[in-house]
Chain A
């Protein structure tokens, strides 16, 4: 009977193949190889920029360069759980080349569905949606006629 018992604890005990089962392949893909990481010049008139969230719950920065009603470039940075990073990367990649109207129509529901997020991670998609809306608002503020001559609006919470 004792022959089946190993002499000592194996140095690499067998365990699950992956320690992060439960997220979709797309979440893992965007987390491991995030797209469109970086930033754009936040004071440029054709760039809308947003910094949303809070350090204890996750922060997304999203910059959009918008020309002739089309998003020419989208760049992000994110601090948060893996899903928050994946949501930001997904959104940045998806938005590039899209008309502004399509960007405005991209909601938390689309993000949750596309990344197959579990219910406890819906708040990550909400944060990504707020980043999109915030960046577009910032761009529209800069484009508004009344903005001419004013100092550039803050891109970050004051």
Chain B
């Protein structure tokens, strides 16, 4: 095998050539503005946008009219949170979310707190990454406007029990918003069965283009209203002004259609490959820890802590394998991942974690190659590790007094 291996599909995915092919005409000969109602150039563009709306809606069991196009999941998250808190002031000002949410949810929450627009409760998940439903029930008050809990975690891949969360929210009369950037197209989502009121989608996480996303906004029972972040021509039912990026939207639609058609097959294949990687690692290396729930997780996600090894050195050893780590060892940021910390991991374990993100292009051959290289790298780095020496001598490193000073 030659060339680098891409195993970081939670960061981004390549555009599927079928998606690119669908997009290309809309850059050139079909360049019309979807808002041009008075000539055929506009009608062609509008038709393409409406087809994409249908494709995206079909993936999540929604109606096409409930899809609002945005620049990506970050904007969708901001629109859902800030838009709802601004319009539902008569209902209250309280948000319940998880401490393991993506920064695109946590940071808008912080901003709302700073401006005095909201009070936010951050729930810690259990050690497996799953939300505690009793804690959720207890956190909802008569001032709660919205519950924001992600569908799948971007680091540990854990799938939250959306149907149960949705049922609780419906019963208590609060809105349920879920960031599904990682989950959409990977696992089944149904906004009706799961009682989801707002749902964020990203284009580039589902083999579509970067720079486009969508927000599902429920229209009936209840009709959800949002104040716009961006004002202008009143596009997207007034919730998101700006000329629609038709080629990107066509790409997002096609990507969602493909993901829906391939979902069962791809999920089964990636679950088997993920298991092959974990089985191989755990058969050949000691002192591993699987982060996140063992089965209730994205098919392509494996997050492992390799004790007594630093993830950054491991990534440097895996020079032709693109993976990701919950650790950033720099003097500016010695803080490990907020997600792993929320699971209760000690900092040393959090700094030892690697995220393997398998995707549509991943082959069994690549998995075997990554397995071999990872085992070799971990063994080499442990040979170099003075902490591992202590462990081999039967000394628990945690029993020792360490100092940075």
Counting CB contacts under 8 A, is A148 at the interface? no
Does B401 contact A119, Cβ atoms closer than 8 Å?
Answer: no
Q: Mark B382-405, 1 if CB is under 8 A from A, else 0.
A: 011111111000000100111110
Does B348 contact A56, Cβ atoms closer than 8 Å?
Answer: yes
> What is the chain A residue whose CB lies nearest that of B400?
A157
In the complex, A52 Cα to B320 Cα: how many Å?
31
Question: A79 and B404 in contact (CB under 8 A), knowing A9-B360, A19-B322, A57-B334?
Answer: no
Counting CB contacts under 8 A, is A146 at the interface? no
Interface residues on B, range: 35 or more
> What is the chain B residue whose CB lies nearest that of A6?
B17
In the complex, A91 Cα to B329 Cα: how many Å?
20
Does A9 contact B16, Cβ atoms closer than 8 Å?
Answer: yes
> What is the chain B residue whose CB lies nearest that of A123?
B331
List which A18-71 residues lie within 8 A (CB) of chain B.
18-20, 31, 34, 37, 39, 51, 53-61
In this complex, how many residues of chain A approach chain B with their Cβ under 8 Å: the count is: 47
Does B402 contact A18, Cβ atoms closer than 8 Å?
Answer: no
Partner of B329, one of A13, A15, A81: A81
Counting CB contacts under 8 A, is A111 at the interface? no
> What is the chain B residue whose CB lies nearest that of A126?
B331
Question: A58 and B316 in contact (CB under 8 A), knowing A37-B384, A79-B385?
Answer: no
Does A51 contact B386, Cβ atoms closer than 8 Å?
Answer: yes
For A14, the chain B residues whose CB sits under 8 A away are 3
For A61, the chain B residues whose CB sits under 8 A away are 386, 389
Residue positions of A touching B, CB distance < 8 A: 1-2, 5-16, 18-20, 31, 34, 37, 39, 51, 53-61, 77-82, 84-85, 119-123, 156-158
Residue positions of B touching A, CB distance < 8 A: 1-6, 14, 16-17, 20-21, 24-25, 28, 207, 308-310, 312-313, 315-317, 319-322, 329-332, 334, 336, 346-348, 350-351, 360-361, 363, 366, 381, 383-390, 397, 400-404
